[in-house]
Amino acid sequence: MFKLDSNSKTGVNEFNRLACVLCNKDADYTKIKQVLDYLLRSLGLGYEVKETKHPSFIPGRVSRISINGKKVAYVGEISPSVLANFEIEMPVSGFELNLSACSKLI
């Protein structure tokens, strides 16, 4: 992923991200958060969880993950309207983690 940045040498800043989804009849917030928890703990990173809103996720089933006050991930259950747009009939839960931000914290 990249963002335009007129102050950088190339005019853009690049970021590495990791996305993970579960798609099955039992996919839910708890199961995907367990995957994220295992990953972050394996990297030796403690984190904070705060409920948030995001249009791609079901309200009340999405959180923002922060490490040392830096927001690094969203985790939650994908909203039915998003699933319908892609003709997905099974529940989906997922997270997106900013690896570039995490690597600076390790």
Distance CA 75, CA 59 (A): 12
User: Which residues, in sequence order, are CB contacts of 23 under 8 Å at separation 6+?
Assistant: 88, 90, 91, 92
- Please give the model's pTM, rounded to 2 decimal places: 0.84
Task: Say what the pLDDT of residue 61 is.
Answer: 96
Task: Say what the pLDDT of residue 100 is.
Answer: 82
Average pLDDT, stretch 29-54? Answer: 95
Task: Say what the pLDDT of residue 106 is.
Answer: 66
Model confidence at 10, pLDDT cuts 50, 70, 90, reads: confident
Average pLDDT, stretch 73-101? Answer: 95
Average pLDDT, the chain: 91
Distance CA 17, CA 14 (A): 10
Percent of the chain with pLDDT over 90: 72
